[in-house]
Chains A and B, each alone.
Chain A
Amino acid sequence: MTDVKEKGPEVTLTLPADTGNGLKTQEMIINMGPQHPSTHGVLRMELTLNGEIVTKAIPHIGYLHRCFEKHSEAMNDYAKVIPYVDRMDYVAAMNNELGYAIAMERLMDIRVNDRVEYIRVIMAELQRVASHLLAIGTFGLDIGAFTPFLYCFIEREKILDIFEKASGARLLYNYIWIGGLMNDVPADFKSDTAAFVKSFRPKIKELNDLLSMNRIFIDRTANIGVLPEKVAINYGVSGPSLRGSGVKWDLRRDDPYSIYDRFEFDVIVGKGEMGTLGDCWDRYIVRVWEMEESLKIIEQALDSMPDDGDVQEAIPKKIRPPAGEIYCRTETPRGELGYYIISDKSTSPYRIKARAPSFVNLSVLPAISIGAMVADMVAIIGSIDIVLGEVDR
């Protein structure tokens, strides 16, 4: 691999110091956020503008820093960390729990039974659909399309109902535990989920008709915020943002965890259909089609899910992992979520570090936003799909 020097498109924007009629022009520095409708939380962007064209963008983060790592060290119980990981990526809490549970199980060498694995996978994929729905909806909202946002929310609501029946919570579940689950799924879980999958399929087409193929939407997102493949890898971008750049890379397939190797599904990559490969539209459409793939996984899992098995049989009474360290990564809707856990044989982690996908994905923003307009900035931030809870932890 050659040295990556690309820093986004080369722009030479020189401002005339004097327009000739005595009027002076100068660049304007503007704060986008932390209170801004389209920064998906409390991100602050320091933009240097030439007119409406961004010549420099510096993200400032940390407004939502809740000391996840420090708290976890002081928690004195590995199990108590789970509600905290929920709150990192609060729109994909199941996936966060799953990642943490798997990391801990590998560290402690715990095997869970098949029923637990299947329920986990179904939950994680449902959560992925829910999270992508939110990402797609808010992306549309950033572009100015309000209605698809609510259409997405209607569908997301159905998923949250399924979660609520199982865990009692709608956003932060504390459902997947180390070595098992909080409790077994309700009796009608299978039929509920199957009904959702059936009703959701046609909605994807509806969404494409309403938003994805809308001419204005395409004009606003194609060729904007182009993230070339090499830059993406060098910046460590992962998840749909990386696949949008055409890299066929999905941890579920390439570094399987849990029981993902048992399912048939495609890894969706961007193809540059509407513009350049790796533009905002590609990142967006990857999420749309990924929902379809998740539905496939859910269907297969529902078919082969065993009906018996105690979901709590492998939960350890006292969680005291052997001394050692582990880096374990899973694929969340936003990308590679890694947990680096150091255990010193006590009941609390010596060090726990979450490699949050949003954090890494966001760091590529300055490189791909040079030369964009303010309105494109909004599109780029939306297409990277960050959750500030995860960026700041």
Chain B
Amino acid sequence: MQQFLESFLPAGPLVVFVFSIIPLMIILVYALFAIWLERKVAGHMQDRLGPMRTGWHGWAQTIADLLKMIQKEDIVPAKADRFLFKLAPFIAFAASYGAFVAIPLSSGYIGSMIDVGVFYIVAITSLLSVSIIMAGWASNNKWSLLGAMRTAAQTVSYEVPTVVTILSVIIVTGTLNLMEVTEMQTGNAFLGFLPSWLIFHSPFMVIAFGLFFIATLAEAHRVPFDLPESESELVGGYQTEYSGMRWGLFMLTEYADMLLLSLVGVTLFFGGWNSPFGSFMEGPLWGAFWMLLKGMILVFVMMWLRWTLPRLRVDQLMNLCWKYLIPLSFVNLVLIALWEMIF
């Protein structure tokens, strides 16, 4: 990719710049689409139409909202910690944008071929909770603070099953570099026709994916684990005092986070940019298509759950994590390791 850019752009910083904003462009376009999709999904699940006025089936609704948000006054509460308050949304977005570096978007594009890709992603996304605690604390609002405390507890707890399930995949792949993980899943070897995705590798991988998906739902603060911003309990949680574009950045982060975690899931379990039909529809551009399509399917499932399920209570959330998910993921880890030893 870098060579391709260098072929028509003057070398140097510009190439690096263009190269590095590709994920940003994808995130922004995706966010516009995903927010529209969320509304449409919600609308159709609830027997209504969703936005219909702005363009064909309301496709421009998110753009209209964006314009509205930009025009809104940027309110900072009088007794807030101004510096932290203003900084928090940027750190939140930076954390999830930064994590895209290690995701192989197609066979021709990965931000950085770092060998500790997965480890890096896990590390940098935990910055997100820092920013949320920052936002909650700086707002000087008790509801925000409660939301921030919930986030801290939730993220710290759910990182454990996330990491352990990722670890069980790593046992199979033997590498932390996500590009290599994806390349291992090329081909249609299983049973002669199934793609060689890791999810088909062993029955325990299905369990691992289930655990991973539940944990990522909690990491992305999606229903039924959306306690940090649970609007019917904590007003808006850590977002309570935010308005205008700063709030928009949190929104963007939430959606970017959904995509990020879905893409990690896709890379680890569903063959990343690999086509499900072997060598049919393959190549770097098709790769990006498959990657994003698979990611969007997982994002859709997240939306589906959001509009179906109620919300857990904070202690039930912790119970679920520490009493069920963590033991299960460790047992699963051992079983996958045994499977690897035997077969």
Would A and B touch once assembled, by the CB under 8 A criterion? yes
Q: Would you call B254 an interface residue if the criterion is a C-beta within 8 Å of the partner chain's C-beta atoms? A: no
Is A216 in contact with B314, judged by CB distance below 8 angstroms? no
Select the stretch in B43-51, B115-123, B173-181, B267-275 that faces chain A.
B43-51
Q: Would you call A151 an interface residue if the criterion is a C-beta within 8 Å of the partner chain's C-beta atoms? A: yes
Cα A30 to Cα B311 in complex, Å, equals 22
Residues of B within 8 A of A151 (CB): 46-47
Interface residues on B, range: 20 to 34
Q: Please give the distance in Å from A393's CB to the nearest CB on chain B.
A: 26
| A interface residues (Cβ-Cβ under 8 A, vs B) | 28, 30, 36-38, 52, 140-147, 150-151, 154, 210-211, 214, 216-217, 219-220, 373-376, 378
Among A143, A146, A210, A214, max chain B CB count under 10 A is at A146
Q: Please give the distance in Å from A174's CB to the nearest CB on chain B.
A: 30
Q: Please give the distance in Å from A47's CB to the nearest CB on chain B.
A: 10
Is A216 in contact with B309, judged by CB distance below 8 angstroms? yes
Q: A216-B310, A217-B310 are in contact. Are A144 and B224 (CB under 8 A)?
A: yes
Q: A373-B313, A373-B315, A375-B313 are in contact. Are A144 and B223 (CB under 8 A)?
A: yes
Residues of B within 8 A of A140 (CB): 310
Is A144 in contact with B230, judged by CB distance below 8 angstroms? yes
Complex interface residues of chain B between 118 and 132 (CB less than 8 A to chain A): none
Residues of B within 8 A of A376 (CB): 313
Is A378 in contact with B233, judged by CB distance below 8 angstroms? yes
Q: A37-B235, A151-B46, A154-B47 are in contact. Are A30 and B143 (CB under 8 A)?
A: yes
Residues of A within 8 A of B202 (CB): none
Nearest 6 A-B pairs (CB), nearest first? A144-B311, A145-B310, A150-B46, A143-B310, A144-B310, A38-B232
Complex interface residues of chain B between 208 and 265 (CB less than 8 A to chain A): 223-224, 226-227, 230-235
Q: A216-B312, A375-B313 are in contact. Are A37 and B232 (CB under 8 A)?
A: yes
- What mask results when residues 109 to 150 of chain B are scored 1 for a CB within 8 Å of chain A, else 0? 000000000000000000000000000000000110010000
Residues of B within 8 A of A147 (CB): 42, 45-46, 307-308
Residues of B within 8 A of A375 (CB): 227, 230, 233, 311, 313-314
Q: Please give the distance in Å from B148's CB to the nearest CB on chain A.
A: 13
Is B142 in contact with A28, judged by CB distance below 8 angstroms? yes
- A to B CB contacts below 8 Å, 5 in the list: A37-B232, A147-B45, A151-B47, A154-B47, A220-B311
Cα A143 to Cα B233 in complex, Å, equals 8
Q: Please give the distance in Å from A13's CB to the nearest CB on chain B.
A: 14
Residues of B within 8 A of A146 (CB): 42, 46, 306-307
Chain A interface SS verdict (over half): helix
- Beta-carbon nearest neighbor of B45 in chain A: A147
Is B312 in contact with A374, judged by CB distance below 8 angstroms? no
Cα A356 to Cα B270 in complex, Å, equals 59
List 7 additional A-B contacts (Cβ < 8 Å) besides A144-B224, A150-B46, A216-B312: A30-B142, A140-B310, A146-B42, A147-B308, A216-B310, A373-B315, A375-B311
Cα A150 to Cα B306 in complex, Å, equals 14
Partner of B309, one of A37, A145, A374: A145
Cα A297 to Cα B53 in complex, Å, equals 42
- Beta-carbon nearest neighbor of B231 in chain A: A37
Is A144 in contact with B48, judged by CB distance below 8 angstroms? no
Residues of B within 8 A of A28 (CB): 142
Q: Would you call B316 an interface residue if the criterion is a C-beta within 8 Å of the partner chain's C-beta atoms? A: yes
Q: Please give the distance in Å from B59's CB to the nearest CB on chain A.
A: 22
Cα A154 to Cα B49 in complex, Å, equals 13
Residues of B within 8 A of A211 (CB): 310
Q: Please give the distance in Å from A64's CB to the nearest CB on chain B.
A: 19
Is A220 in contact with B46, judged by CB distance below 8 angstroms? no
Among B309, B310, B311, B313, max chain A CB count under 10 A is at B310
Is A150 in contact with B48, judged by CB distance below 8 angstroms? yes
Residues of A within 8 A of B226 (CB): 144
Cα A52 to Cα B114 in complex, Å, equals 42
Q: A146-B307, A373-B313 are in contact. Are A141 and B46 (CB under 8 A)?
A: no
- Beta-carbon nearest neighbor of B313 in chain A: A375
Residues of A within 8 A of B315 (CB): 373
Is A220 in contact with B235, judged by CB distance below 8 angstroms? no
Is B308 in contact with A220, judged by CB distance below 8 angstroms? no
Is A373 in contact with B47, judged by CB distance below 8 angstroms? no
Residues of A within 8 A of B45 (CB): 147
Is A216 in contact with B224, judged by CB distance below 8 angstroms? yes
Is A52 in contact with B314, judged by CB distance below 8 angstroms? yes
Residues of B within 8 A of A52 (CB): 146, 314
Q: Please give the distance in Å from A266's CB to the nearest CB on chain B.
A: 28
Q: A150-B48, A378-B233 are in contact. Are A143 and B311 (CB under 8 A)?
A: yes
